[in-house]
């Protein structure tokens, strides 16, 4: 038996994956609002915080945003906070530029500052610095206070005369907790936030459009999931795109096993009856 979903259904690409081309991404009013704010922040050197529940598409929106930026006009740096230290703030962008970072922190900061000036003043580019998983800043062990201080440095390179770059912090809702940006130690940072936006789960009616968008990207019929199946997906996923993707993929596996061309409500129901997805990712 052929277990390749793409080949079995003659898709042009695998649907319900993170690799969906940005042209096919489902964009509701909230997504368009966030993308507009990101575009404004990038064009005007603003400080933006993007937050939202797990699995609601923050990283996907960032990918869409960065892919739509003109490479000859923007320099994008992207780092993740999974192993953050103050040094990494400066080290990572320099490496991404192909530059060997200086060893001592004072020299590293100066080196970073000079590169920002070169990019913005000499080359005339806008610099966009994205810090993903930023809710983990508070988990960066004994470095955490220093990490927040480095954010202040980013926004103060030109002595409060204006941001030299666009800084985007992206993280789960915990980014606003007292241990992170909501704490007293971050008051000066939060006062500098120009824009704050938040991703949300999809509404029930939006789940059907989301499923159709993924099927369209794969070259499949938009009614490949029957109405009952879509209703069950909307209910049990809680509108979380990441969970929708997992349920839909399981549904395609059921249809493939039964040589069916349509994913039915019964197939989706069997996913839950057979406990084929962890309870933690599903709504009641």
- Domain 202-281: assigned CATH number: 1.10.8.60
pTM (predicted TM-score) = 0.90
Average pLDDT of the residues of the chain: 89
The CATH 3.40.50.300 portion of the chain extends over 29-198
User: In terms of CATH, what superfamily is 29-198?
Assistant: P-loop containing nucleotide triphosphate hydrolases (3.40.50.300)
Residue 255: pLDDT over 50 = yes
Question: Chain centroid to CA 72: how far?
Answer: 23
Q: Is 173 within 8 Å of 162 (Cβ atoms)? A: no
Share of the chain above pLDDT 70, in %: 90
- Please state, in angstroms and rounded to a whole number, the distance separating the CA atoms of residues 31 and 53: 14
Residues forming beta bridges with residue 127, ordered by sequence position: 75
- State residue 184 phi and psi, 5-degree precision: -60, -35
The pLDDT of residue 95 is 96
The pLDDT of residue 141 is 43
Residue 163: pLDDT over 90 = no
Of the pLDDT bands very low, low, confident and very high (cuts 50, 70, 90), residue 135 is confident
Pick from 161, 39, 179, 154: nearest CA to 86: 154
Q: 48-86 burial by CB neighbour count: b if 16+ within 10 A, else e?
A: bbbbbbebbbbbbbbbbbbeebeeeebbbbbbbbeebeb
Measured over the CA atoms of residue 154, residue 62, residue 30 and residue 33, the dihedral's sign is positive
pLDDT tens per residue, range 269-278: 999 998 888 7
Q: Is 173 helix (H, G, I), strand (E, B) or coil?
A: helix
The CATH 1.10.8.60 portion of the chain extends over 202-281
The pLDDT of residue 119 is 96
pLDDT tens per residue, range 48-99: 999 999 999 999 999 999 999 999 999 999 998 765 678 888 999 999 999 9
Q: Is 88 within 8 Å of 81 (Cβ atoms)? A: no
Pick from 28, 22, 110: nearest CA to 63: 22
Considering only residues 143 and 55, tell me which one the structure prediction assigns the higher pLDDT: 55
pLDDT tens per residue, range 228-248: 999 999 999 999 999 999 999
The pLDDT of residue 83 is 58
User: What is the number of other CB atoms lying within 10 angstroms of the CB of residue 255?
Assistant: 21
The pLDDT of residue 16 is 95
């Amino acid at each position: 038996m052929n277990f390749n979903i793409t080949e079995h259904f003659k898709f042009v690409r695998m649907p319900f994956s993170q690799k969906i081309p940005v042209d096919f991404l489902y964009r509701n009013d909230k997504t368009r609002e966030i993308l507009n704010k990101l575009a404004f922040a990038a064009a005007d050197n603003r400080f933006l915080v993007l937050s939202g529940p797990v699995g609601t598409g923050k990283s996907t929106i960032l990918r869409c945003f960065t892919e739509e930026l003109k490479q000859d006009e923007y320099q994008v740096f992207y780092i993740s906070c999974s192993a953050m230290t103050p040094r990494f703030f400066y080290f990572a962008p320099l490496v991404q530029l192909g530059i060997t970072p200086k060893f001592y922190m004072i020299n590293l900061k100066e080196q970073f500052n000079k590169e920002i000036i070169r990019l913005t003043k000499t080359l005339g580019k806008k610099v966009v610095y994205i810090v993903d998983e930023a809710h983990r800043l508070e988990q960066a062990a004994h470095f955490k206070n220093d990490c927040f201080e480095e954010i202040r440095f980013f926004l103060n390179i030109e002595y409060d005369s204006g941001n030299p770059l666009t800084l985007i912090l992206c993280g789960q809702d915990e980014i606003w907790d007292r241990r992170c940006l909501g704490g007293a130690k971050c008051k000066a940072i939060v006062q500098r936030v120009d824009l704050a936006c938040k991703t949300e789960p999809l509404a029930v009616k939006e789940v059907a459009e989301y499923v159709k968008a993924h099927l369209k990207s794969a070259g499949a019929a938009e009614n490949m999931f029957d109405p009952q199946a879509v209703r069950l997906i909307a209910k049990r996923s809680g509108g979380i795109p990441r969970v929708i993707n997992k349920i839909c993929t399981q549904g395609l596996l059921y249809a493939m096993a039964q040589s069916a061309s349509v994913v039915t409500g019964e197939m989706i129901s069997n996913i839950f009856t057979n406990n084929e997805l962890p309870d933690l990712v599903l709504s009641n």
